[in-house]
Amino acid sequence: METQAEELKASAFLHIPVLSQEVVEGLAVQPGGHYLDATVGGGGHSQLILSENPDVQVTAIDRDAVAIAAAKSHLTQYSDRLHFWQGNFADYTPKDIQFDGIVADLGVSSAQVDTPERGFSFRHEAELDMRMDRRQPLTAAEVINHWDEAKLADIFYQYGEERLSRRIARAIVEKRPFQTTTALAGAIASCVPRQYRYGRIHPATRVFQGLRIAVNQELSSLETFLEKAPTWLKPGGKIVIISFHSLEDRIVKHSLRNSPLLKVLTKKPIMAQAEELDENRRSRSAKLRVAERTSP
């Protein structure tokens, strides 16, 4: 039986899906179609797809057990047309299914960031965790406290696009071990120049992004997923990908364009319109790209 705490965690995932109209239009949802939601989260995009037609099916996957629980709870009315699988979308195998469309809403969810004990944010004191799938052994604490200085500098620079990566990595190695998000953020802030410390964003922001991406192998998983996913589509099936930072979008853009099985339908990424920007802050950095499976 779910505890109240677990129910609250699941309810946090019920956020507004970004670019909802654009996703439905991009997928061109067909009666009787079977669609893959590769990052179900709280089930927002899955609900949009399922509500398009009474005989549409969705297979929904996510790395996060709490997200799966939230989607199951939120989408109970569609349970006979909804199938779940927990794991990394790069490891998924559809067996004999070919989908009419695939959607993936990339990156960390607001629910994960807003749950302090998950350790994704330094807004609250929490253990350095950052695992999307809490079954995996590697945590942010392991990376910060045991990886060598050069490797830390590399992930801060490559995944966080942090220009002071070497200085920050050196300070972390000198001051570790770290147990909490706030202690790490404080150490980062104390080692950067004053003008950097009081800039537009907190000096730990890019480091935390790089650390999260490394812990969850987000970019390598995305590359593997985008290599495999076109083979899961029927001819004419659409793949719709929403990314939130330049590293993801660059991989999506090149993977869709270079796939011999796909025809890109969006020359430029689709962005949120003014009304959505006012209602949903998360949509500000969202970029949506669409491609279509060509004939075999």
Res 115: pLDDT? 86
**Which residue from 141, 136, 149, 104 is spatially nearest to 255, judged by alpha carbons?**
104
**Which residue from 258, 26, 226 is spatially nearest to 218, judged by alpha carbons?**
226
Distances (CA, A) of 26 to 30, 91, 224, 243, 291: 12, 25, 22, 15, 9
127: which strand partners?
180
Q: What is the DSSP letter of 288?
A: E
**Which residue from 121, 194, 215, 206 is spatially nearest to 165, judged by alpha carbons?**
206
Strands 233-243 and 287-293, sheet pairing: antiparallel
Contacts of 151 (CB under 8 A, 6+ apart): none
With 0-12 CB in 10 A as exposed, 13-18 as middle and 19+ as buried, what is 180? middle
Each of the 296 residues of the chain gets a pLDDT tens digit; together they read 344 344 445 555 555 788 999 999 999 999 999 999 999 998 999 999 999 999 999 999 999 999 999 999 999 999 999 999 999 999 999 988 999 999 999 988 878 888 889 999 999 999 999 999 999 999 999 999 999 999 999 999 999 999 999 999 999 999 999 999 999 999 999 999 988 887 789 999 999 999 999 999 999 999 999 999 999 999 999 999 999 999 999 999 999 999 999 999 999 999 988 887 788 777 888 999 999 999 76
Res 13: pLDDT? 59
Res 114: pLDDT? 81
Res 12: pLDDT? 54
Res 194: pLDDT? 87
